Amino acid sequence: MVFYSESGELDPDWLMKNPKVGQAARDLDGMISELDTKLDRQLKKQEHDYLKGYSIYVKTKEKELKTLIQKLNAKNSNNTLKDKTIYKLN
């Protein structure tokens, strides 16, 4: 018995002789298609949520970095005055 045609599909002649199998195959194809659509939708949602969270994380780290740079610049601004004084002593 040959169930599949050369293209990999179930043989139409065989399906006509076995209508229950054909209906089951169509039902399974429909379920697979539905599951594929649901999975694709869920993956897109998770990707969106991940990128949103990542964006928030990066923005937070950028703010922290800017704050640290400002503190470092404020701390070092006094050093340039000290450096000038030291150079004048030489």
pLDDT in tens, 44-55: 999 999 999 999
Establish if 37 belongs to a structural domain.
yes
Per the structure, the complete domain to which residue 59 belongs is given by 12-89
- Please state, in angstroms and rounded to a whole number, the distance separating the CA atoms of residues 38 and 43: 9
Return the pLDDT at 22. Answer: 78
Residue 7 in domain: no
Cα(67)–Cα(7) distance, rounded to whole angstroms? 64
Whether 1 and 14 have beta carbons less than 8 Å apart is answered as yes
Q: Is the pLDDT of residue 11 over 80?
A: no
Q: Would you say residue 2 lies in a domain? A: no
On the question of pLDDT at 79 being above 90, the answer is: no
pLDDT for the residue 1: 53
In angstroms, the CA 90 to CA 81 distance is: 15
Average pLDDT, integer, range 36-63: 98
State the total domains in the chain.
1
| Residue 19 or 36, more confident | 36
CA distances from 85 to 44, 58, 63, 75, 78 (A): 61, 41, 34, 17, 11
